[in-house]
Amino acid sequence: MATRSLWGVRAKLSVAATALCGGAGTAAIASSDDPATALKLCTTIPLRLVRDSVTAATIALDYEYSLWGLAEGSDERSRVKHEVHLRSARRLQELCFRNGGIYIKLGQHIGQLEYLVPQEYVQTMRESMLNKCPVSSYDQVCEVVKKELGGTPDEIFDGFDPVPIASASLAQVHVARTQDGQKVAVKVQHTHMTDTAAADHATVEFIVNTLHRFFPSFDYRWLVDEMSESLPKELDFLLEAKNSEKCLDNFRKLSPHISAHVYAPRVHWNLSTSKLLTMEFIDGAQVNDVKTIRKLGIRPDEVSRLVSQAFAEMMFKHGFVHCDPHAANLLVRPLPSGKRSILGKKKPQLVLLDHGLYKDLDFSTRTNYAALWKALIFADVDAIKENSVKLGAGEDLYVLFAGILTMRPWNRVIDSAVDHLVVKGNDSDRSELQMYASQYFPQISELLRRLPRVILLMLKTNDCLRAVNNSLLQGSSLETFFIIGKVSSEAVVEAKMSQSKSILCWINVWLEEILLEARLYGMQIALWLLRLRRALSL
């Protein structure tokens, strides 16, 4: 009976999609100023929506049919569920690649949701969505360059490689040389993005809403809302260029102690538009390419510390955060000054790419988020609850919120051990995380629905950084949490100082800062002892 009803869902979705887009398409062609483009859209969009509908219904049917009658918690059910997860992840992967554009962004986001979706989905999306995106043809690239800059690539540049060095969901990058001989990276938006972005968003929203109607526990509407706000900004490359300059300016003004270690490619404004961005070409290793990083004479653990420091400064002090720090967007190279560590290793410089997705944190949100991380580092239960509630988690879900932020169960979050938040990244830790994700799926969905969108983006950023650190260190480290604790604590003290209006308040804050320094000093001693023990064991 359940199987027949699901086949009915599949048929209804397909018929509804065809009817909806067919009627809308006829009207669009009749009223459009550009009938050719309208006809193209009206023939591709219905196909995408039908494809979406069939894929969604097939996945739902596979779960219901394959797991029918298998006892909850049994080994057989676990084995079959693993197989269904893999099949469904591959179907979703194929759908994302066939539709492209916004669907690739959706797949990339799913690849970061370790706390919400099964590991099979995370692994499948993470392996394919960052470096294997669809590529626009050279003719399409020429079309964009001519429209944006008034000439073909060969006319505008003194050499333009027709084969892209990288392709992402919204654009691809070509190596070129300017007329004065400078090597540049030219980011060219995929031609279909402007035409289909709004329609693709509508189809994704339709499918997500329909699935939620039939399966209430499947509630990803928050993800559609987040993408509807961020996508238009990511499609404006001039905004991306301004973001990169503002980011570096913040480091120079607010974090001068590490500003030399953080860099973004210089923009060639005379060769840039909203759909084409020309930047300085940077040679470097991707942040997850440990082998190449070592060949450059750089220690991976130093890179991990720099990544943690840079993003902690952005989140807790700048309030202007790069929200897409996956491995393809972070390069590492030796510090141009040639500075070396005491052991003779080259100091790293972190090069930030793809500045399309930034988020501003207002003073209150930034301070509360810093205070929450400070509380998590020092296992302060009352402060964890207080600041989680301030950020929107509510008094009933603050424990879950702390778990998602740290990827640790509550008993570990409030453990007084100095390394209580360290994740080893082994199979045992991953299994534990997946167990909690499965057990508390409805509560997690409710929490994500409830949190402000800016905090959802911080969660995404947090997940990206965790994946980067895991690739560099095979897990998190005490150093990472020491840095987060130090920067978040400094941000909280600075915020209190700026709001203090009396001598007594200043004295209280000053005493609090002394106590804080003592706690951080204790953590630093534990860190030194850990390093010494590690060195002696080698």
Length of the chain: 538
The whole-angstrom separation of Cα 196 and Cα 192 is: 6
DSSP-H helix ranges across 187-260: 192-214, 221-234, 237-254
**Given the residues 324, 362, 380, 419, the one annotated as active site:** 324
How many C-beta atoms lie closer than 10 Å to residue 379's C-beta? 17
Interacting residues of 477 by C-beta distance below 8 A, sequence separation 6+: 301, 304, 422, 469
Q: Which residue has the tokens 């219904």?
A: 57
DSSP-H helix ranges across 314-439: 363-377, 381-390, 398-406, 410-413, 427-439
- Report how many helices (DSSP H) and strands (DSSP E) the chain contains, helices first: 21, 10
Burial of 434 (0-12, 13-18, 19+ CB in 10 A): middle
Burial of 415 (0-12, 13-18, 19+ CB in 10 A): middle
The whole-angstrom separation of Cα 404 and Cα 178 is: 46
Amino acid letter for position 529: L
How many C-beta atoms lie closer than 10 Å to residue 186's C-beta? 29
Structure tokens at 496: 């209190």
Of all helices (H) and strands (E), which one includes residue 287?
none
How far, in whole angstroms, is CA 265 from its chain's centroid? 20
User: What are the φ/ψ torsions at residue 471 (nearest 5 degrees)?
Assistant: -70, -30
- CA neighbor of 141 nearest in space, from 103, 175, 108: 175
CB 363 within 8 A of CB 372: no
User: What are the φ/ψ torsions at residue 34 (nearest 5 degrees)?
Assistant: -125, 80
Residue 432 DSSP SS3: helix
Structure tokens at 66: 């394959």
Q: Rounded to whole angstroms, what are the CA distances from 381 to 378, 388, 422? A: 9, 11, 18
The whole-angstrom separation of Cα 382 and Cα 403 is: 15
324 assigned to active site: yes
End-to-end Cα separation, the chain, in angstroms: 62
- CA neighbor of 358 nearest in space, from 391, 405, 325: 325
Which residues are tagged catalytic?
324
